[in-house]
Amino acid sequence: MKKEFRIKKNEEFQYTFKCGKSFANRQLVIYYVEKKGQNHFRIGLSVGKKIGNAVTRNRIKRYLRQAFQELEEKIAYPHDIVIIARHPAKQMEYHEIKKSLTHLLYKERLLKNQ
């Protein structure tokens, strides 16, 4: 995932939490806010320490980044999207995480051609 597609600063995360909309399923929570003047989407990932050790948390983040990379052309922009992993994501494989993420993006109309 390219650096310009990532949200890194705490202020940007907090703005998305405060001003954005949220939607969730059992595995993931998504917060998103529309950003005018941006020519691409950006994502921020959050996996808490309660989910597991660093290896587990990094694996979940890696799966989410890969899923976004594969869905890159389908995602409507300009949006800032923050994904928070819930406990059931710990036992999920890549294709299950991608399916869950696609479901959330589809439900919130963040995928193109809907």
The helix or strand, by DSSP H or E, that contains position 57, with its residue range, turns out to be: helix 54-70
The helix or strand, by DSSP H or E, that contains position 94, with its residue range, turns out to be: helix 94-107
In tens, the pLDDT along 35-49 reads 888 888 899 999 999
Between 62 and 75, residue with greater pLDDT = 62
Q: Which residue has the tokens 């691409």?
A: 40
In tens, the pLDDT along 76-104 reads 778 899 999 999 999 999 999 999 999 99
Q: Looking at the predicted structure, is the pLDDT value of residue 1 above 70?
A: no
Buried residues in 71-81 as b, exposed as e (16+ CB within 10 A)? beeebbbebbb
Helices (H) and strands (E) in the chain, counts: 3, 4
pLDDT class of 114 with cuts at 50, 70, 90: low
In tens, the pLDDT along 2-57 reads 777 889 999 999 999 999 999 999 999 999 998 888 888 899 999 999 999 999 99
